[in-house]
Amino acid sequence: MTPALIRCLLAISALSEVCPSVASKDVAQLLGLKRPTIHRALEAMRTKGLILKEPYGDIYLTETGVALAHRLEEQRDQLSILFVRKFSLAPDEATRAAILLISELKEESLSKLQALK
């Protein structure tokens, strides 16, 4: 998944935990992106089976989407903490770096990084 799709999926997951319904405008506002950008990301996630979305309706994570979001959140958080503690990155930089690496590295490589704690 691209960094943009990861960020979008994580935003939907976070919003789902605090809001009874999630709309594309909420995701766009949270990420600071324009709605057409979010709509393209949502369509890509819908095709991958990560979300359910009715036209002009609410967005819901599928079971697959929930599981992936939780896994990505855990990886992002672990890597962000590593980058802050070991490399003195600012928290926002650490989070961006973590998402970029998650999108590009294989699971085996990510596990090796996380083992550096």
Q: What is the pLDDT of residues 40-79, one digit of tens each?
A: 999 999 999 999 998 888 999 999 999 999 999 999 999 9
53 in Cβ contact with 59 (< 8 Å): yes
Q: 54-90 b/e with 16+ CB inside 10 Å = b?
A: eeeeebebeeebbebbeebeebbebbbebbbeeeebe
Q: What predicted TM-score, i.e. pTM, was given to this entire model?
A: 0.90
How many CA atoms are closer than 13 Å to the CA of 70, on its beta-carbon side? 7
Phi-psi region of 102 (alpha: psi -120 to 50; beta: other; left: phi over 0): alpha
Q: What is the pLDDT of residues 85-96, one digit of tens each?
A: 999 999 999 999
Q: What count of other Cβ atoms lies within 10 Å of the Cβ of residue 42? A: 21
